Structures are given as C-alpha cells and as structure tokens.
Chain A
C-alpha cells in the first residue's frame, strides 16, 4: 500500500532553530491525525508539505510525489483548510471558492458549478452570495472547507477545523469530515489539539513534540485492542473466587481497591461469560466498561517522553 505521506529524514530549520527534527514515518491511513501541543511543529509540517517552507535536509513524499522535485504537482493533489481566517472579506463566498477552484486548474464553468455544490455540501447554500466578511465563525470554517474540497483534491489538509465552533457547528463539521472520509475518494490529514476530534475522525495518529515524532499509532488497532480491555467493579464476598475463575478463562487480570478489576479478554472469550461466572460466584458486577480514553493515554504517554522520539 502506497503511503499517503512518507517522511524521509525531514528536517526544517528557521535560522538556528530546529522546527522539525529529521522525521521518519510512513502514514498510510485514510484519515491521519496530527496531534501535539502548541509549537510541536504540526503547522510547520503541513506548510512544508505544501511547499511553503523548504526542508533543510531530507524530504517527504505526498502520494508518491517528492515535495522537493514535484512541489507543484503535490499542491495540485491537495485541498487545504488553514487554521486562521483566510479569505477576501468583500468577495461573495461562491465567487471566492470559484476563483480558488480556477486557480487549481478547473475551467471557469466547472469551477462555478463545483463552487455552488461545495457550498450546498457544507450547508452554506443559502448564504453563498453574501460577502465572506459577514459570515459567522462557524460559517467561515465551513466556507474554508468548501474552498478546500471544491477542486476535488486527493488529499485534504484540515488545520484545526473545529476551532471556535459551538457544539452544534462542531458536530456538523465532524460529520462532514467523517462523510468525506467514509466516501474513500480522498485521504485526509487532520491537525488538531483536540483529542476528541482526532479520535472521532482518524484511523492513524502522529503525535509531535518539540519537532520530533513522540508517538505514531494506528487508532483502528488500538480500538480493536480496547474492545478486549475491560474495567469492572464488583461487589460481594467472593471476589477472590471470581478473580480466580476469570483467570482460569485465560484473562489477564489486575485487581485494584474496592472491587475494581482491569482485565484483558483473550480471543474466544466473551463478556457474557464474565456475567455467568459472577452469577455463579454470587458477585455483583456494578460497572463494566471498555477502556475509552486510549488516545488521551497515548498522548499523555508521548508527552512524558523526554525530547519526543519513539
């Protein structure tokens, strides 16, 4: 499988400051999250892939094209939704998006048609003739997404797409991103500091810290693993027998205070069997939950790693 993005010793310096420190990774996911605290190098990485910054050494390939030698071709494949407000305030939304699509190479008529479609798609159909400067924050974010997808890119860069959105607008934006992802026509890179956004939209995540890769994981695999990772809370006098019976099923267990038990179910063992054992041992299962905060754990672990690096 061809990586969407391949980082090959990519280093970017601004003067003497190392911003990206010889990054190596092959990102193959359909939706890749880019996480990291402020100043980690997320935006610099995106800007470098877009050709705004020249790598000091190393290179990167986007959908197989080298950013050093095929920068123009790479940009032709990308749709970019920047973090900050980027538009010409007096222009109407549809005219601006049409112009951007034309700059990407679409003929004038096709650009106009797709600009209208993109505006309806992001839910701004009714306001597409209004000047962009009069849009609310949520509408501006949606207009930026329309501008990023109007020319039909193969790869979408979304830089903090839910920034400043109220809950309904955020939900709508996340739904749009998920819809685009699920169609499978394009890959997307989602840069965010919001773990929830990344968790809801992405199947791979690259965590940056101080210009280094602090962690890189496949969220799909993590989710599958988490389905087998349970936390339960028990009540009853036979907790010891219950624990021994669960062990005999082949589960790895760790007991905590007040009847709390963490366990990993081996393949072939179902949750139902735990209930049966509990009933047989006269133990109450007060709470049973799959481990839910895996990305947060991964992120926090990555942040604890000194100077990043995996």
Chain B
C-alpha cells in the first residue's frame, strides 16, 4: 500500500520464527556499533597481536627468512638458528596470546557493553520490548550475542587460527600432541566471554549511566585485583585472591591449558604465580558466584514494569 493512503490496516502476512527473534536485537545493536569510528579502529587494532604471533610462527619455521633478517655476519645459518631458538612456540607463547586478546576483550566489554542495555533502561524502552511476544531471556540473549560475537572474533577465533598455523607448519603430530592448548584456549575464552558479557550487561542495567557502567567493568577487574592484593598482604594469605577476577580466570585457564602439572605463572595480565595457588574448585565457585550475581542483577532490572512495594 502506498504511504500516502493514510489508513490503518491489520497485518495478515507471515510471521518470523519466534526462536530467531532475539537476533533482531543483535542486528540493530551491531548496526549502531558499526557507526562508531573509535570502535572500528580499536577492533581492527585488536588483531595486531595475532598477526604478529602468526608472523613469528612463520619466521620460526622459515630459515631463509630468518637469514634475511639476521644479515650476513657470522657462520652461515648460525644467526638464523639463534633467532629460531629465540622464537619458541610453546605454552608461554599461547598464554601470552590468550592473555593479550582477553585483556582487549575486557576493554571491548567496558566500551560497548554499557551502551547495549543502559539506553533502553534510561528511556523506559523495556516495557515496549517486553510488551511483545519477546521474553526477558531473549532480550538478554540478544544483547549478549553482540558481545559474544565480537569477543569471540577477538579471542578464541584468532587463538585457534594461530594454533592451526603452528600445527600446520610444525607438522609431525604437533597439533595432536598439544591439543590441550587448543581446547584450553577455546573453553577458557568462552568462560571469559560469558563472564564479561554478564558483568557488562548487569552493571549497565544497574547503573543505567553508560560511562559509570563502563568504569565499573574496569573497577571489578582492577579494583578487585588491588583489593585482593591488599587482603593478601595484610592477612598474609592467598584467599584474598578470590576478589581478583584476573587471578580466578587465570587459574582456571592454567588448569585448562596445562593440566595439574603447571610450568608457568599463567597468561599475561591473568597471572596466578606458582606457590600462591588457590584450590581450583574455589576459583570455579568464585567465578560461578560472580556470574550468578550478574544474573540476579539482570533478573531484578530487566522487567517490563518496576514494582514499588
């Protein structure tokens, strides 16, 4: 019907599958994010570390390229072998990659997470969303999918691609021998992504003001770490680390990547020094408690109508 025919008519066409409707929220949020130049640049730069890692793997397996970099002095090939030995592709290498990318994911969650929910709450738009055949769970899923997609492309996807490159170039069953690293990065990243998404959405639902919510996401990580360090120092214990999200997630990652016999202090930015470990069950419980608290906050705030008792 032409738009100039100003009349009301009922809709009698087909409806979309209700299970897919939460993607509507995701799609609109993605369109909004695409307009932000800052985020586009930040997101593009976040792939720098995986690219550098890939380059290092390539160099480590390419003697002629190493000779080119090493120059002409010394015995032929000796300098190249030295450089190859310097670039060691091991658990520390992948720990660094995972740590870097996960820290960038934290920044991404702090930048875009609050912008997903707080405008809806600040503008009372939730009643309009939820007055439709659309549940609170679907709303949260729709918003969370935005973060999950973007953070996946930033964390486990490049990590696994780098791992695959190393496995391909190394050959000889290297990938099979080190499959634990791949699985560890995959599951560890998912755990971090879900935790960060819940945290970002819950804080923005609670605070409603974008900058404050973003600040709180950083606060949970950095202030929590400082608080944990203070408790550990004053009380001469390691249990204060239960307040340090970086420590908790790092401990879980270390267990996932290295198993019970660890050889490193965990990924960069998520250190859990050897000799200061907490029981892994305690770390899991603390992470679940944090996730549960976020879910509770979301349940309280994502409502069609506020109840004043």
Contact = CB atoms under 8 A, between A and B. Distances in A.
Interface of A: 14-15, 17, 43, 47, 50-53, 72-73, 75-76, 78, 80, 82, 84-90, 95, 99-100, 102-107, 110, 113-114, 116-117, 120-121, 123, 125, 147, 149, 151-152, 154, 157, 179-180, 183, 185-186
Contacts of B4: 120
Interface of chain B, main secondary structure? loop
Interface of B: 1, 3-4, 6-16, 18, 21, 24-25, 28, 119-120, 123-125, 127-135, 303-305, 307-309
Given A99-B24, A105-B15, A120-B4, A75 B305 contact: no
A105 B18 contact: yes
A117 to B, nearest CB: 6
Contacts of B135: 72
Contact of A89 (B12, B123, B131, B134): B123
A82 B128 contact: yes
Contacts of B12: 152
A186 B10 contact: yes
A78 B123 CA distance: 21
Nearest to A110: B13
A86 B125 contact: yes
Given A100-B132, A152-B9, A89 B119 contact: yes
A19 to B, nearest CB: 9
Given A47-B304, A89-B123, A180-B8, A125 B3 contact: yes
13 contacts: A50-B304, A52-B131, A52-B305, A75-B131, A78-B131, A86-B125, A89-B119, A104-B134, A105-B16, A107-B16, A121-B6, A149-B8, A152-B11
**Among A53, A82, A85, residue most surrounded by chain B Cβ atoms (within 10 Å):** A82
Contacts of A100: 128-129, 132
B305 A88 contact: no
A189 to B, nearest CB: 13
Contact of B131 (A50, A73, A152): A50
B14 A107 contact: yes
Contact of A52 (B15, B303, B309): B303
Given A107-B14, A149-B8, A151-B11, A87 B3 contact: no
B131 A179 contact: no
B130 A88 contact: no
**Among B28, B129, B303, residue most surrounded by chain A Cβ atoms (within 10 Å):** B28
B88 to A, nearest CB: 50
A104 B133 contact: yes
B16 A106 contact: yes
A52 B306 CA distance: 9
B309 A14 contact: yes
A95 B309 CA distance: 36
A99 B28 contact: yes
Contact of B124 (A14, A84, A116, A180): A84
